[in-house]
């Protein structure tokens, strides 16, 4: 076994174990920390595959921004996870049906998978000669897969808006500004005249 194979199995096993801990951990802070561990191991796998740019992007963007943001939201916001989990049983039949469909699809795909003896010969190189890894990735994303790249960005934008809407909680007794009411103010609503008797305050 070569050193590259040893590191591949090491990163893969740790990434899979950390991914299981992300969804099985009861503490949401621990789940985010296990998610960061998954990102680091995935970055190691990218480096072994020769995609150094993707590995650095994974560490800088996802670990440095997204995972830290998740951790900040979980630790700083007063989110009642017990209340959020109460309604999970009502969605269990739908979730189970979707999971069963995905399992059947995976079994069908793996059952009909055929390895060609010529696959190694017809495989295209990751980066053509004279082109760096980053440049080859940019040429593919912004030419051949430009439409799918934009659709993925739109899906992420909708997911971000949905996450903000779901986690927004209005606390009672907190004064909030209403921009429409402030713009529509007039002297009748902005000024209140009171009759104060002599020797008395308001």
pLDDT in tens, 119-162: 555 545 555 567 777 788 888 888 888 899 899 989 989 988 88
Domain that holds residue 29: 1-79
Q: Of 71-75, 90-94, 193-197, which gets the smallest average pLDDT?
A: 71-75
Question: Please, which pLDDT band fits residue 17 given cuts at 50, 70 and 90?
Answer: very high
Asked if 57 and 134 touch (Cβ cutoff 8 Å), the reply is no
Same domain, 74 and 139: no
Is the residue at 198 inside a domain? no
Residue 124 inside a domain? The answer is no
First to last CA, the chain: 87
- Cα atoms in the Cβ-side hemisphere of radius 13 Å centred on 144: 5
Q: Mean pLDDT across the stretch 61-85? A: 69
pLDDT at 1: 63
Tell me if 12 is assigned to some domain: yes
For residue 200, CA distances in Å to 60, 177, 193 come to 65, 32, 15
Measured CA to CA, the distance from residue 7 to residue 43 in angstroms comes to 12
Q: Name the average pLDDT for the chain.
A: 79
Judge whether residue 116 has pLDDT over 60. no
Number of domains in the chain: 2
Cα–Cα dist 104/100, whole Å: 6
Residue 74, domain member (yes or no)? yes
Tens of pLDDT, residue by residue over 23-66, are: 888 777 788 888 888 989 999 998 888 888 888 888 888 877 77
What's the pLDDT band for 83 if we cut at 50, 70, 90?
A: low
Residue 199 falls within a domain, yes or no?
Answer: no
């Amino acid at each position: 076994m070569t050193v590259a194979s040893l590191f591949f199995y090491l990163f893969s096993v740790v990434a899979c174990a950390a991914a299981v801990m992300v969804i099985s951990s009861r503490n949401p802070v621990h789940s985010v920390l296990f998610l960061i561990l998954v990102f680091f191991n995935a970055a190691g796998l990218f480096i072994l595959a020769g995609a150094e740019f993707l590995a650095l992007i994974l560490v800088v963007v996802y670990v440095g921004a997204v995972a830290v943001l998740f951790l900040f939201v979980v630790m700083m916001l007063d989110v009642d996870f017990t209340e959020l989990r109460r309604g999970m049983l009502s969605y269990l039949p739908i979730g189970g049906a979707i999971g069963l469909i995905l399992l059947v699809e995976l079994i069908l795909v793996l059952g009909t998978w055929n390895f060609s003896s010529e696959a190694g010969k017809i495989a295209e190189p990751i980066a053509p000669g004279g082109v760096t890894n980053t440049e080859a990735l940019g040429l593919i994303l912004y030419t051949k897969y430009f439409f799918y790249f934009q659709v993925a960005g739109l899906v992420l934008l909708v997911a971000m808006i949905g996450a903000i809407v779901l986690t927004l909680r209005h606390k009672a007794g907190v004064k909030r500004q209403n921009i429409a009411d402030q713009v529509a103010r007039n002297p009748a609503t902005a000024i209140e005249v009171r009759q104060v008797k002599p020797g008395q305050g308001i």
